[in-house]
Structure 1
Amino acid sequence: MKVSLIQMNSQPDVAGNLEQAERLLLQAIDRDRPDLLVLPEHFDWAGGTAHQKVDAADSMPGGKAYRMLQEIAGQHRVWIHGGSLLERIPGERHVFNTSVIFDDSGREVGRYRKIHLFDITAPDGKAYRESATVARGEDLFVYEAHGLRIGCAICYDLRFSRLFDALASQRVDVIVLPAAFTLQTGKDHWEVLCRARAIEFQAYFIACGQWGSYAAANGETRSYYGNSMICDPWGQVVARASDGVGIVTSHIDPQRLRDVRNIIPMTAHREDFPGCRLCHGLKTSHVHA
């Protein structure tokens, strides 16, 4: 399976972000002919105030971002893992941070709503309070494409290994993580965590990030880390985006998965611990395609 990652620089401008995303998606299709396209977290909206964020949320189905992805997937016969977009919750002043996946006929196969919300104060004193506008998701999501089982996560989820242990128990071959990692945390933690998740759960790890600066609330400028990458199940970085907006493409090799799992048969060796509920009761949705 050939995968193209779309590295963006989203702003508090829905129309501009969708134009940027569409241009890059079509460029990747024309240049690389991928089987799966992956967008970053918040490809539709970034920064701005909490009020603007909620007002910018997309309706599903039927919203502008949703329809753009659906149409491109169907017209060009390509799977799209729709990074994450802001999903409107009717009657609520919170939204979901949602990955939506379309198959190569343009059919929605499912959604993953971010579980771990980014509420921290960074080393430079900047506060991030995702839970002020985003409602927490509850379920894991696994889908099948091109003979591979693909698990979903988003950005801050990366730091919580129990989520990936739960996905590994569902025999995933690939994990896709759209992100908008901050420059401060990304430079020290991004690659380490992406490679670790690939190694410990013996899966390809596809991490598609935002890059560059954006305008946050109150005129504050913040920066994304970028460095979108694909790690193989041995933990090697097989593809990485350079600085800037653009596309990085590589292959997912099922034989590489088999080889690594045969060398170190972790699935056979992994022990369950009595009384330990790794996924804290999270349900897992599956889609077979």
Structure 2
Amino acid sequence: MKISLIQMNSQPDRAHNLAEAKRLMQEAVSLDRPDLIVLPEHFDWSGGTLDQKCNAADAIPGGAAYRMLQTFSEQNRVAIHAGSILERTAASDRIYNSTVVFNALGEEVGIYRKIHLFDITAPDGKKYLESATVAPGKDILIYELNGLRIGCAICYDLRFSRLFDQLATHGVDIFVLPAAFTMQTGKDHWEVLCRARAIEFQAYFVACGQWGSYPAPDGETRQTYGNSLICDPWGQVTARASDKVCVTSARIDPERLHAVRALIPMSSHRVDLHDVSLTVARDKTERLANVL
């Protein structure tokens, strides 16, 4: 199976972003003929003020991004893992950060809404507060394509191994992670975490990121890290995007999955830790210091 990653530099301009996504997807189809196209997080809208972000949220199904992807998928007979779309629903005052997956017939396969929200202070002091506008999802999504099982996650989810552990218990062969990693965290943690997830769960890891600058809610300019990549289940990086808006493609080899899992049969060695007891040993040196 061949996968094409679409690395973008999305802005607070939906028409521009959708045109760029369509152009790059057409390039992937024309040159690489992939089975699956993966878009980055926030491919339809990135940056701007909080009000602009909320107002940009669109309907799933029925919104402009949804319709464009569905039509492209059907016309080009290619499956699309649609990064993430800002989703408006009647169920919440906040919006969702949502992945939509289409099969090669243009049919919606499923929706994954980002579970872990990015509320952090970066090393340079910049604050990110995703939960101010975004509600967390509550469900995981696994879908099948070409005989392989694919598990969904988005950006900050990468840091929470329990999510990938849960996906792995259901036999996932490929993790797909659309992202918009910051430059500061990306340069230190992006590749390390992607490779770690591939190694510890013996699955391919497909990570598709935003690259370049965008206007932030505080009026400053922020940078995303890019470096979209694919790791094999041994943790080797088999494809990596350049520092630019581009298409990067690679093949997924089921035989590589079988070979790695046969060499180190972790699934048969994994212990259910709910069945083990816990002992917390008290530090006796503190008591000794009190006596002395």
Instruction: Please state which band the TM-score falls in when normalised by the shorter chain.
Output: over 0.9
Q: How does 1:212-251 map to 2 (within 5 A)?
A: 212-251=212-251
Aligned letter for 1:20? E
Identity score, percent = 68
Change over 3 Å in CA distance of 1:273–1:217 after alignment to 2: same
TM-score by length of 1: 0.94
Superposed displacement of residue 192, structure 1 = 0.2
Task: Give 4+ residue runs of structure 1 displaced > 3 Å after superposition.
Answer: none
Partner of 1:97: 97
In structure 1, how many angstroms separate the alpha carbons of the residues matched to 2:180 and 2:166?
A: 23
Q: Does 1:153 align with 2:165?
A: no
Partner of 1:61: 61
Q: How does 1:1-289 map to 2 (within 5 A)?
A: 1-90=1-90, 92-274=92-274
Change over 3 Å in CA distance of 1:135–1:275 after alignment to 2: farther
In structure 1, how many angstroms separate the alpha carbons of the residues matched to 2:166 and 2:55?
A: 34
In structure 1, how many angstroms separate the alpha carbons of the residues matched to 2:111 and 2:188?
A: 30
Q: What are the Cα deviations for residues 10-64 of structure 1, in whole angstroms up to 9, with x where unaligned?
A: 0111111111111101111011100000000000011111111110011111100
Q: What are the Cα deviations for residues 107-165 of structure 1, in whole angstroms up to 9, with x where unaligned?
A: 00000000000000111111100000000000110000010000000000000000000
Q: Is the 8 A contact 1:54 1:93 kept in 2?
A: no
RMSD: 1.0
Superposed displacement of residue 274, structure 1 = 2.0
Alignment coverage as a number of residue pairs: 276
| Partner SS for 2:167 | helix
In structure 2, how many angstroms separate the alpha carbons of the residues matched to 1:27 and 1:267?
A: 39
Structure 1 gaps of 5+ residues are: 277-289
Aligned letter for 1:172? V
TM-score by length of 2: 0.93
Q: Is the 8 A contact 1:204 1:233 kept in 2?
A: yes
| Partner SS for 1:140 | coil
Superposed displacement of residue 91, structure 1 = 6.8
| Partner SS for 1:261 | helix
In our comparison, the structure showing a higher alpha carbon Rg is 2
Partner of 1:280: none
